[in-house]
Amino acid sequence: MKDLESQLRAALRPAAPREAFTKTLLAQISLTRQPRTTLRRTAWLTASLAATLLLAVGARQHVQDLRNRESGLEARRQVIEALRMTSQKLDLAYEAVKNQSASETPGA
C-alpha cells in the first residue's frame, strides 16, 4: 500500500464543478457593474479631462480679450494722434489766413 500522504494527495485531487455552475457564475459576473474602483478611476479621469479642457478654453479666451483690448487702445491712440495733428494743421492755416488778412487791410 502506498503511504498515507500519497493516498491523501490522490484522494484530494481538485475536481471540476458542474458546467451549469460555471455558466451561471459567469453570467452573474457579466451582469454586475464594473468594479467601483474602476468606475471611480474613470470618473476621476473624466472630471480631470473636463477641468483641463475648461481651463484651456478659459485661458485662450482671456488671452484673446487682452489682445482685443490692446488693439482697441492702439486704435484710440492713433485716432487721438490724428486729431492732434489735424488740430495743429488747422491752427497753422488759421494763423496764415489771419496774417494775410491783416496785411491786405489798409490802415489796419
Partner 1 sequence: MSNAEEPAFLDAQLKKARLGDRAALAVLVRAHQHSVYSLALRMLGTRELAEDLAQDVFMQLNAKIASIESSQHLAFWLRKVTSHRAIDQLRQRSRLQTAPLEEEALSLSVVDGGDPLLHRHLSNLLSQLTPPARAVVLLRYQEDLDPVDIARTLDMPINTVKSHLKRSLDMLRSNTPGTDLTQRTGDSL
Residues that bind partner 1 (CB under 8 A): 1, 3-5, 7-18, 21-22, 24-26, 28-30, 32, 34-38
- 11 versus 102: smaller Cβ distance to partner 1: 11
Q: Provide, rounded to whole angstroms, the least separation between the CB of residue 36 and partner 1.
A: 7
Helix (H, G, I), strand (E, B) or coil at 33: coil
- 9 versus 67: smaller Cβ distance to partner 1: 9
Q: Provide, rounded to whole angstroms, the least separation between the CB of residue 77 and partner 1.
A: 60
Q: Provide, rounded to whole angstroms, the least separation between the CB of residue 37 and partner 1.
A: 4
Q: Is the dihedral of CA 7, 8, 11, 13 positive or negative?
A: negative
Which cell numbers in the block locate residue 8? 491523501
- 17 versus 107: smaller Cβ distance to partner 1: 17
3-state helix, strand, coil in the chain (%, to 5): 85, 0, 15
Q: Say if CB 39 and CB 33 are below 8 A apart.
A: yes
Closest CA to 56 of 46, 64, 45, 44: 64
- 14 versus 106: smaller Cβ distance to partner 1: 14
